Structure 1
Amino acid sequence: MIQKIPRYLLTFYSTSGAMAVERYCKENGIVGRLIPVPREISASCGLSWAVPLEQKDELGVIEAEFADEIEGKWSLDI
């Protein structure tokens, strides 16, 4: 059985928004990765940015910078 890990997810209105966040995070050394949106939630775009739950506070800058692109914020075990 695969062990689920608590994660914090950002979902997006568009794929271009998700890609912009990924680019920004890679350029600024922010840990995380793009993953498909889990079935438990729904989003306009099929991608979400995921980080371990304990690192969610590091995304404050991203949430402010990309507020128009972010559709939702989620805490899930995935």
Structure 2
Amino acid sequence: HLKPTFLIHCNNQLVLALLDTTKLHFYTKYIDICYHFICQFANVNKLCFNYCPINKIQANIFTKPFSSPKLATHLPFLGVL
């Protein structure tokens, strides 16, 4: 088993499900060529996708409003606390 070149964390479970199947569905009929390109890289272990819950994504502190308790959990990652 080869180690993947890049690990990508994603919080979209539908995207992860589409990567795991080779079947085309009615809703995936018009997906852009970029999707197929990414699937090819995932199939040859150049990319590996991992589910990450939205509350664990550290970049969200810059893009989404947080309540005080949630903000406090992200502050150590910034070196603030």
Shorter-chain TM band: under 0.3
* Structure with greater strand percent: 1
Which protein is bigger by CA-based radius of gyration? Answer: 2
Give TM-score, length-normalised by structure 1. 0.24
Compare relative contact order (CA 8 Å, sep 6+) and give the higher one, 1 or 2.
1
State TM-score, norm by structure 2: 0.24
Relative to its length, the structure with more helix (as a share) is 2
